[in-house]
């Protein structure tokens, strides 16, 4: 049976962040994830989790200006010290919130001739993060993002993620496989999940091409969820879609499980 998390950065946005925990619990989630928790103190977040008997499975390291159209943090050579400070910040939150995983967004290179330099920087930073989180028993994950939504993103395929894992050989480093992003890049997501389930630390999903809930796009989620359930993957599956309509109305896929 699949274990689903609700991503509170995109679900239940009809109410302020702290009220989303109660709604997630009310509508059947036992675990949640947050993209960037840093606008609230870890103690406040822990209280919201405890009051609603929820587990926080995952959050991201700070990504600087990535969501505002910039290059982000983890791959930019000039920002290595800033990245290390972001890891320190994530550790402080992790000690309070006890996530299973922390995600590192690779970022993008907007100067193509520097691509290899950016990729090398990302690999060094990924090793730094993985070794920093390992003593806490936390898996480090990183994800590929499609280049239609984020041109220049330095990791944009499952194959690239596998290559990084094979090169770095960090025992607590895994890929975060996003069904929406990889579908947007034309990957056969079900086949990939079956073939590389041992290298996947976390799965997220939204329908494609619109990034709405299952049933609003072209992905056969009945088949995808069945594939995940039958695979060797035993982690969480995160709902990280942008609801078409209200969040509650978007949960038909979940209520039918």
Residues designated as active site? 143, 240
- Distance, in Å, from the CA atom of 142 to the CA atom of 149, rounded to the nearest integer, reads 17
Contact status, residue 29 vs residue 54, Cβ threshold 8 Å: yes
Distance, CA of 175 to chain centre: 9
- Distance, in Å, from the CA atom of 100 to the CA atom of 59, rounded to the nearest integer, reads 9
Contact status, residue 147 vs residue 184, Cβ threshold 8 Å: no
Contact status, residue 158 vs residue 182, Cβ threshold 8 Å: yes
- Distance, in Å, from the CA atom of 227 to the CA atom of 40, rounded to the nearest integer, reads 37
Residue with tokens 């962040």, as numbered in its chain: 17
Q: Looking at residue 29, what DSSP letter applies?
A: -
CA atoms within 13 A on the CB side of 205: 27
Whose CA is closest to 209, among 236, 186, 175? Answer: 186
Contact status, residue 26 vs residue 12, Cβ threshold 8 Å: no
CA distances from 257 to 29, 120, 248 (A): 12, 42, 15
């Amino acid at each position: 049976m699949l274990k689903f998390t609700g991503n509170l950065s995109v679900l239940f946005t009809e109410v302020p962040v702290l009220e989303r925990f109660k709604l997630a619990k009310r509508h059947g989630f036992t675990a949640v994830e947050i993209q960037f928790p840093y606008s609230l103190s870890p103690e406040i977040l822990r209280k919201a989790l405890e009051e609603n008997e929820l587990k926080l499975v995952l959050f991201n390291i700070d990504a600087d200006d990535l969501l505002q159209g910039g290059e982000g943090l983890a791959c930019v050579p000039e920002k290595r010290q800033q990245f290390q400070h972001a890891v320190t910040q994530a550790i402080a939150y992790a000690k309070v919130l006890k996530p299973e995983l922390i995600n590192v967004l690779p970022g993008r290179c907007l100067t193509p001739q520097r691509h290899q330099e950016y990729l090398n920087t990302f690999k060094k930073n990924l090793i730094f993060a993985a070794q920093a989180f390992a003593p806490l028993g936390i898996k480090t994950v990183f994800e590929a993002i499609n280049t239609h939504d984020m041109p220049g993103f330095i990791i944009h395929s499952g194959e690239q993620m596998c290559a990084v894992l094979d090169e770095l050989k960090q025992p607590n480093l895994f890929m975060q496989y996003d069904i929406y992003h990889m579908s947007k890049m034309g990957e056969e997501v079900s086949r990939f999940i079956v073939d590389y389930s041992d290298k996947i630390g976390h799965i997220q999903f939204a329908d494609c091409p619109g990034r709405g809930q299952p049933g609003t796009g072209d992905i056969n989620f009945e088949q995808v969820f069945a594939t995940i359930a039958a695979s060797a993957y035993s982690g969480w599956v995160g709902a990280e879609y942008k609801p078409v309509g209200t969040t509650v109305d978007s949960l038909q896929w979940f209520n039918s499980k």
